Amino acid sequence: MDIFLLLLIYTGVALFQVPALIKKSYWRELIAFSSLFTLAFTLNLLQILDVNIPNPLKGIQYIVEDVLHLKY
């Protein structure tokens, strides 16, 4: 039931947003919207399926401390 509701909501948002972007020929905005939309849908679906999603803070902390050699 939760997956069906998720699909219904995301389909509604896509049907509302995408035709306007295509009609106005906003191709770059459509690509950005589609990318973020797909990422958000995937994360929401994984959350509904009780998949453990890693914390992005650890990745950011690794980049700041180990790659950029910044200490705070």
Number of domains in the chain: 1
**Which carries the bigger pLDDT value, residue 72 or residue 2?**
2
Using the CB atoms, write b or e for 47-72: b if 16+ within 10 Å: eeeeeeeeeeeeeeeeeeeeeeeeee
In a domain, 18, yes or no: yes
In a domain, 72, yes or no: no
Domain that includes residue 51, residue range: 2-67
The mean pLDDT value for 53-60 works out to 90
- Radius of gyration for the alpha carbons in the chain, expressed in angstroms and rounded: 17
As a whole number of angstroms, the distance between CA 3 and CA 68 comes to 40
Res. 71 pLDDT band, cuts 50 70 90:
confident
pLDDT at 6: 96
pTM, 2 dp? 0.77
pLDDT at 70: 86
Q: Residues 1-12: pLDDT tens digits?
A: 899 999 999 999
